[in-house]
Structure 1
Amino acid sequence: MERPLSLVTGACGFMGTHMCEVLAEAGHRIRATDLPAAHEKDDRAKGRFPSVIDRLGVEFVPGDFTRPGDLAALVRDVDYVFHVAGVFSYSAPWALLRQVNESGTEALIDAVLAHKRAKRFVLWGAGGVYGLPSWRPGRPFRETDAVLPANPYLRSKWLAEHATMRAQGRGLSWAILRPTTVYGPRAVYGSGQMILAAAGMKIAAAPRNFTGRIPWVHVRDVCRAALHLATTKGAENRIYNLNDDTQMSTLEFFRLMAGLTGAKFVELPAVPIDRLKPAIHGVAGALQKITGLLGVPSPLEADTVDYLNEDWQYANDELKSTGFQFQYPEARDGLRDTLRWYRENGWLDG
């Protein structure tokens, strides 16, 4: 029996490389695609790791989702599509976000449907599309909740989700993933920034009132769930929160990181974070302008300031109802292993 052929978009990035690894372990043939420049060489600053997929011996086909003519070659004879690619940036202009995340998804779906072969289309959505927990306090987000995306990036991801669901009427079998804070080896942006910054502190500190919970999911579990949902009968045409079972506040996170790195931990007095957010917004905006001129990522983005000390909770029973089991149900274990990887690969001193 011929092994299934899976297409992975955004294959040279953090998530895409892990998706290729999971598929290779499962015995799939893999067609990987990304922008031509992403496949030139490893670039940690840009989150590009083509050497990972090259070692796997995948078929690499360069592609650009803003050029629909590139897509027919990508989807030919494909059994499963794992659409990881997208602009993941809280600083990107709206025109680019919509062009890639919405229009690019629509173009890929059109190509998939034209070839009438793919058994399932798995889309990477975003766990943040529900809005802020303080808008609906006291309960976890569920897949049936209304979406209230709080910034342009999340709006563009919701539009991609909507395009995917709409295509069901044309015969598309789909599954949408809504990952939360994805962490693990090779994470550079988002969780990577937070973990590496915390791990580099000689003295880790956090205010005692930073009790809002951080949502976590290991990148391996995201990719394992994607494959599981692609190949499980009855899992189609549904949305899934991808969040593990961890209950960890921001305060506990910094205490944990201190314990894992040998740093001293200091619990600071409570701070009126809600009153400080407007000022932090101003600082973040100024930083983005400066780093934009320098052509480097900003360490703080204005659209993420509102996330500070929010109490993030996500129900994951929809995913578990399909029979999926987490490799890392507890982020304390996953963070320990991730720090070990960072050290062994020279991303972290000590």
Structure 2
Amino acid sequence: MEKLCLVTGACGFCGSYMVNLLLERGYKVRATDLEKSERGIHTDIVKKEGVEFIPSDLTKKETLKEVVKDVAYVFHPAAIFSYHQEWEPLYKVNVEGTRNLCEVLVEEGRVEKFINWSTVGVYGLPKPEYLPIREGYTPEPSNIYEKTKYEQEKVVLEFCKKDKLPVIIIRPSPIYGPGNIYGVAQMWLNFAKIPFFIMPKNLPYNMPFVHVKDVCNAALFLAENERRLGQVYNIVDDSNISTYGFFKLFSEVSGKKFITAPDVKNLKVMLAIVKAIVKASVFFLRILTKVIPIPIIIYFRETALYVTAIYGFSNEKLKSLGYKFLYPTVKDGIKETLSWYREKGMMK
């Protein structure tokens, strides 16, 4: 008998890919999202043949009881992903909404696997001496979105320990791929507006990525293969590309000019200056956004932190189970992604 899978946030970026993957693999699929959610480019999910769509609201527990009936696997990417939302709505959906879902799943008592979407953002800005970050590293989230995702992890692990809810947590790095219109997409689309790039080669910064298909494939792989409860997995590709390497790659794929600047001779001094400027800018922008909560200001604040940090996340735990990446590096997926943006008129 085919297993029935539930996908929350099914009309979103990861949710829609998850639905399609499950259909391809022959699973029965039940999709859920807000009844009046913004369908955007994923509107076909609710009408797709083989998909049972039941609207629900994570913040209203009574709407979830029908949704979880008879499900074997639950894939839970539904969340508010935003760096400019206030704490209350983020917490209400990401934390309390997940608690509601866990409660009805325990009451139903049939679920075999519960895959919870988190983020490598829960690690915060890790110290270089601890790189690459493995799943046992103590999280230190640095913004309110990341804090709610860490609180969400605590909730599902609480149910795992107390009620034996078969939880697996995945922590994807920044996700890219055709269909993405926020997060990495906003950053790349803004990069596309820059006429040319100039950068020295010896900057130590780097940028982690993972393709959306690998996030969803890894989620299903873990549902099918991981037997231990309460496990956490980083979902990040092998590239760990330098900031210099990424902008050079982006320039080649987008047809922009890239100039390699001379190496910075006194790198330590330059890095200290950059760090001080970014720190001061972020401090100023945090104050400004409390007075004028404009999303674009908050976006630039988070981008400044992202492109001037040294990251490194281990995916060895996932690969040790036998998972093989469909897109091992960002080089393997950036071309199709930028082509999609061009097709949709989002970039030239």
TM-score, shorter chain, exceeding 0.5: yes
8 Å Cα contact 2:23/2:50 also seen in 1: no
Structure 1: tracts of 5 or more residues without a match: 43-47
Query: Could you give the per-residue CA deviations for residues 289-338 of structure 1, whole angstroms, max 9, x where no partner exists?
Result: 6574xxx6557253554333211100111111221110001111111221
The equivalent of 2:23 in structure 1 is: 24
| 2:191 paired with 1:167 | no
Paired residues for 1:1-350 under 5 Å: 1=1, 3-38=2-37, 41-42=39-40, 49-133=42-126, 135-137=127-129, 139-168=131-160, 169-206=162-199, 208=201, 210-267=203-260, 272-281=273-282, 282-283=284-285, 286=288, 292=294, 298=297, 300-303=299-302, 305-349=304-348
Shift of 1:124: 0.3
Instruction: Give the stretch that moved more between structures: 112-121 or 332-341.
Output: 332-341
8 Å Cα contact 2:187/2:303 also seen in 1: no
Counterpart of 1:212, as a letter, is: Y
- Tell me the distance in 2 between the aligned counterparts of 1:307 and 1:12: 27
- Alpha-carbon spacing, 1:344–1:236, altered in 2? closer, same or farther (3 Å): farther
The equivalent of 1:45 in structure 2 is: none
What is the TM-score normalised by the length of structure 1?
0.89
- Tell me the distance in 1 between the aligned counterparts of 2:164 and 2:103: 11
Shift of 1:147: 1.1
- Tell me the distance in 2 between the aligned counterparts of 1:280 and 1:266: 26
Counterpart of 1:12, as a letter, is: C
Count residues with an aligned counterpart: 338
- Alpha-carbon spacing, 1:297–1:10, altered in 2? closer, same or farther (3 Å): farther
- Tell me the distance in 2 between the aligned counterparts of 1:235 and 1:301: 40
Shift of 1:98: 1.2
Counterpart of 1:74, as a letter, is: V
Query: Could you give the per-residue CA deviations for residues 24-45 of structure 1, whole angstroms, max 9, x where no partner exists?
Result: 1111111111112226x42xxx
What is the TM-score normalised by the length of structure 2?
0.90
8 Å Cα contact 1:78/1:118 also seen in 2: yes
8 Å Cα contact 1:284/1:300 also seen in 2: no
Between the aligned residues of both structures, percent identity stands at 37
8 Å Cα contact 1:177/1:241 also seen in 2: yes
Query: Could you give the per-residue CA deviations for residues 108-145 of structure 1, whole angstroms, max 9, x where no partner exists?
Result: 00001111111000000110111212x35352110011
- Tell me the distance in 2 between the aligned counterparts of 1:306 and 1:247: 16
Counterpart of 2:147, as a letter, is: R
- Alpha-carbon spacing, 1:198–1:61, altered in 2? closer, same or farther (3 Å): same
Structure 2: tracts of 5 or more residues without a match: 265-269
Shift of 1:245: 0.5
Cα RMSD after superposing both structures: 2.2
- Tell me the distance in 2 between the aligned counterparts of 1:107 and 1:283: 35
Counterpart of 1:82, as a letter, is: F
Give the SS at the match of 1:201.
coil
8 Å Cα contact 1:285/1:301 also seen in 2: no
- Tell me the distance in 1 between the aligned counterparts of 2:217 and 2:261: 39
- Tell me the distance in 1 between the aligned counterparts of 2:115 and 2:243: 31
Shift of 1:278: 3.7
Counterpart of 2:90, as a letter, is: L
Instruction: Give the stretch that moved more between structures: 192-201 or 122-131.
Output: 192-201
Query: Could you give the per-residue CA deviations for residues 51-89 of structure 1, whole angstroms, max 9, x where no partner exists?
Result: 245335411111111111111011011111101111111
Query: Could you give the per-residue CA deviations for residues 143-163 of structure 1, whole angstroms, max 9, x where no partner exists?
Result: 011111112111110111111
- Tell me the distance in 1 between the aligned counterparts of 2:236 and 2:9: 22
Instruction: Give the stretch that moved more between structures: 251-260 or 193-202.
Output: 193-202
- Alpha-carbon spacing, 1:206–1:36, altered in 2? closer, same or farther (3 Å): farther
- Tell me the distance in 2 between the aligned counterparts of 1:198 and 1:94: 29
8 Å Cα contact 2:207/2:307 also seen in 1: no
- Tell me the distance in 2 between the aligned counterparts of 1:187 and 1:288: 28
- Tell me the distance in 2 between the aligned counterparts of 1:286 and 1:179: 30
- Alpha-carbon spacing, 1:289–1:60, altered in 2? closer, same or farther (3 Å): farther
Shift of 1:21: 1.1
Counterpart of 2:347, as a letter, is: L
Give the SS at the match of 2:238.
coil
Counterpart of 1:11, as a letter, is: A
8 Å Cα contact 2:128/2:311 also seen in 1: no
Give the SS at the match of 2:258.
strand
Counterpart of 1:84, as a letter, is: P
